[in-house]
Structure 1
Amino acid sequence: MYGAHVTAVDAARTRLLKVFRPRTSPPSVAMVLRSVLWPLAIMSVFHRTYVLATNGYITDDFGPVYRAVINFKMGWDIYNENFNHVDPHYLYPPGGTLLLAPFGYLPVDASRYWFITFNTVAILLAAYFLVRLFKFSASSVALPALILGMFLTESVTSTLVYTNINGCILLGEVLFLMWLLDGRHSREWLAGAAVGLTLVVKPSLAPLLLLPLLNRQWRALATAFGVPLVFNVVAWPLTSDPGSFIERTVPYILSTRDYFNSSILGNGIYYGLPMWLILLLRVLFAALAIGSLVLLYRYYRTRDPLLWMVTSSGVLLTASYLVLSLGQGYYSMMLFPFVMSVVLPNSVIRNWPAWLAIYGFFTMDRFLMWHWPTTGRFLEYMKITYGWSLLLIVVFCVLYFRYLDAKSDGRLEQGIDPPWMTPAKERDSVGA
């Protein structure tokens, strides 16, 4: 037994020292990149999760959740918040309270740390499934690059620091897209259940239900509506004041606030824009989104389902953040599947304006300036709104000019991709 232990220790020591010894052959570019990216990715996850998230910040999204699940456990009223102050409020329906109820059986610190852990694991799983969705292997450079990119964004950092549930929402979105694209009937049920679980908590991904509707994947729609219905039916009699959710909370959700709101309506009200201009801008960007969705549906749905689905998801979500009444910056993390489409040869975001837009809503850079406070506050508050706006403009322009070029060349029946682009069916080297 002792000899076997010594042998195992020697083997481990040999493997460790081998890392620092001169290589017997030149390393590949992929090997070098993995050696660089994995330590950076791991440390970024550690820093955001263990350091920043446990320190917390001025905003605490978990506090109202913990109060609600404790009240649910004790049989006390939940939907009795004072909406006159700007602190985070509990807005989840009774079904969401039931889903999160186990966190009420832990002390507050332990509950919060487990909540952070679950969301971190969910983000990492979403990264893994995204990499697989785009036909990369788990051992490729893509996985550490994606994880590093995710955890360097404001969206992921704020989600963990504020202790929000967006990480689990992202995982539900990725599973939804992955199982819809699988094509098997059994996976359609699972796709609907995945997005349905997110809808139990909040309706952030509700616009994505247009995708199975357009694709005639009725099974996904059945479970997407069925799962939140079942949770709320079960939770309704178990909640002390379910009627207050309809009478007090829903009107607040449907109202527009002028703080922590990057939508056109929210920023427009904050800066005092006339309502006709706000309405015009909302209609304009809704029209851009509709135009993009029509072109995507007509020319990519059957020719390139992956590009169609992830790009359409990005357009739908971006438009909802921009045009509807509430769009918060960390919602942008739901755009990771769309941003990942840059690896596809016919992606619509292989251009610098698209990445200027992505910088706007993903960056952690702060623009507050001591010498020019008005300018700094404007840039700080508007960078996300401008990023979403520019992204919708870019997607529409790329698709529209592709359409015009294909029409002038008389090749619309073959699609609108430029002739030099590799067709989707010939992409056998994407995962290399």
Structure 2
Amino acid sequence: MSEGKSDISGWLVRPASWHLWALLAAVLGAATVRTTRLTSDGGMDNAIVVRAARTWLDGGSPYDDPHFLYLPGAVLAAAPQALLSPTALRMLVPLAVTACLAAGWACALRLHGIPPRSRLAALGLAGLTAGFAPFAHLILLANWTATAALALPLGLLLASRGRWAAAAVVFGTAIALKPVLLPMALLLAFAGRWRALALMIAVPVTASTASALFLPDPTGFFTRTLPFLLKGDDDFVRLYEASPAAVLPRLGVPPGLAVLLALLAAAAGVACAYRRWRRADPGPLRLTETAAALMLSAFLVSRPSYDHYLVIVVPLLLASLPCAGSVARGPWFWLALVPQLPGVTWPYLEPVQRRAFKDALTLCALTFTIVRHGWAGQRRVPVKSAPVTAVTSF
């Protein structure tokens, strides 16, 4: 390890001054207040779920709205919001989303043994808010992806401590709200945690079945939402999808070929994730990088797949920066994030409807970086506990 990296790692894990915490409070506060000013109901995506809950409370089917893409459990979970006034939603929802993202960041730091009062804790979260466009975009939309951004690092933190059943419950609960963490089933399978895998499946199945019994259209998710997701033929949604299966046809590639290429890339990503897991080196990077590879591979083929899905993975990887051998120490990780710099106008991509091309580039570059890093099997310094101990001996 070079002296430069040693200095950087040691600097990152030292306690942050009050100036850095003030910077973080200002950046997070600005993003949250901006959402309260620009939205009338706390965020467009959350409003879809709340509207579905209100429809249910009024006796209708939440699946009458084709943009309601959630499992039945989300309807009951959103019901308390449906009873609040628009003013209360405008004030409380951005705070809740920001709290989820901050808590997820704290869990990611804890997973990698980074002190919660470190410089990385303050600067990392401030940098994500101000320098990574999907992060602030997620706060603005109030999408329920925020629950997955909390559940993934929390579940991995529990798994790193041998509490696989608890991790499965966390993953399953998040899936019951929004099934974006389904790829974690493969992680449990890689680890041979079959009971935990069964528990992870049982939680959303039980919650969804029980919730569906209260809906006037219990099978609406399967008869309406699932066909919509499989076809992906909504013109409005397609403009913002970041998966290659959606972006390549916009560049003239036949849809069938685009889907095939995306499936092949996802399969290669899963294979590399398995190779990464099989390497079985000590420390949290095994969990982090395997989970990241699985999630990114799924995003290549999932319909829809949006820019804010990256918020599930990027903070988790960024928190591993002080760990020896982390992918975040390589230049390609940072280059993959360049298209998401706020305020940078890219030629020919100025219209918001073309933002998906930038998002797809980031998704593909980040996936390639992670799977290449995992396949290469770069030499790592064994780190069994906190990297704070490791950085003092670099």
TM-score interval (norm. to shorter): 0.7 to 0.9
Cα distance in 1, alignment partners of residues 211 and 80 from structure 2 = 14
What is the match of residue 278 of structure 1?
A: 258
Confirm or deny: 8 A CA contact 1:92 1:202 kept in the other structure: yes
What is the match of residue 108 of structure 1?
A: 86
Cα distance in 1, alignment partners of residues 271 and 110 from structure 2 = 30
Task: Establish whether residue 42 from structure 1 lines up as the match of residue 25 from structure 2.
Answer: yes
Pairs within 5 Å for 1:20-169? 34-56=17-39, 60-81=44-65, 83=66, 89-152=67-130, 153-169=132-148
Task: Establish whether residue 310 from structure 1 lines up as the match of residue 269 from structure 2.
Answer: no
> 1:262-321: CA deviations, max 9, x gaps?
10011112222124642453244224413422321221x3x2251111001111111111
Cα distance in 2, alignment partners of residues 75 and 276 from structure 1 = 40
Partner letter of residue 188 of structure 2?
P
What is the match of residue 344 of structure 1?
A: 323
What is the match of residue 246 of structure 1?
A: 222
Cα distance in 2, alignment partners of residues 31 and 340 from structure 1 = 14
CA displacement at 1:75 relative to structure 2: 2.2
CA change 1:306–1:167 in 2 (3 A) is same
Confirm or deny: 8 A CA contact 1:261 1:326 kept in the other structure: yes
CA change 1:377–1:77 in 2 (3 A) is closer
Q: TM-score, normalised by structure 1?
A: 0.78
Q: TM-score, normalised by structure 2?
A: 0.85
% same residue? 21
Partner letter of residue 197 of structure 1?
T
Q: CA RMSD in A?
A: 2.8
Cα distance in 2, alignment partners of residues 340 and 137 from structure 1 = 11
CA change 1:137–1:69 in 2 (3 A) is same
Cα distance in 2, alignment partners of residues 262 and 78 from structure 1 = 26
Cα distance in 2, alignment partners of residues 354 and 29 from structure 1 = 18
What is the match of residue 422 of structure 1?
A: 381
Cα distance in 2, alignment partners of residues 389 and 378 from structure 1 = 19
The size of the alignment, in residue pairs, is: 374
> 1:67-110: CA deviations, max 9, x gaps?
111122222222112x4xxxxx2121211111221111111331
Of residues 257-266 and 215-224 in structure 1, the stretch that sits farther from structure 2 once superposed is: 215-224
Pairs within 5 Å for 1:346-425? 346-360=325-339, 362-367=340-345, 369=347, 373=348, 380-402=355-377, 417=379, 421-425=380-384
Q: In structure 1, the residue corresponding to 2:29 is in which secondary structure? A: helix
Which of these two proteins has the greater Rg computed from alpha carbons? 1
| Of 246, 257, 262, the match for 1:266 | 246
Task: Establish whether residue 176 from structure 1 lines up as the match of residue 159 from structure 2.
Answer: no
Q: In structure 2, the residue corresponding to 1:341 is in which secondary structure? A: coil
Partner letter of residue 223 of structure 1?
L
Q: Work out which structure has the larger RCO, using CA pairs closer than 8 Å and 6 or more positions apart in sequence.
A: 2
Q: In structure 2, the residue corresponding to 1:290 is in which secondary structure? A: helix
Confirm or deny: 8 A CA contact 1:96 1:201 kept in the other structure: yes
CA displacement at 1:121 relative to structure 2: 1.2
CA displacement at 1:374 relative to structure 2: 6.7
CA change 1:277–1:97 in 2 (3 A) is same
Partner letter of residue 310 of structure 1?
T
CA change 1:305–1:254 in 2 (3 A) is farther
CA change 1:285–1:343 in 2 (3 A) is farther
CA change 1:304–1:146 in 2 (3 A) is same
Of residues 243-252 and 284-293 in structure 1, the stretch that sits farther from structure 2 once superposed is: 284-293
- Any gaps of 5 or more consecutive residues in structure 2? 1-10
CA change 1:345–1:254 in 2 (3 A) is same
> 1:156-189: CA deviations, max 9, x gaps?
2111111212222211111111111111xxx322
- Any gaps of 5 or more consecutive residues in structure 1? 1-27, 84-88, 403-415
Cα distance in 1, alignment partners of residues 40 and 299 from structure 2 = 24
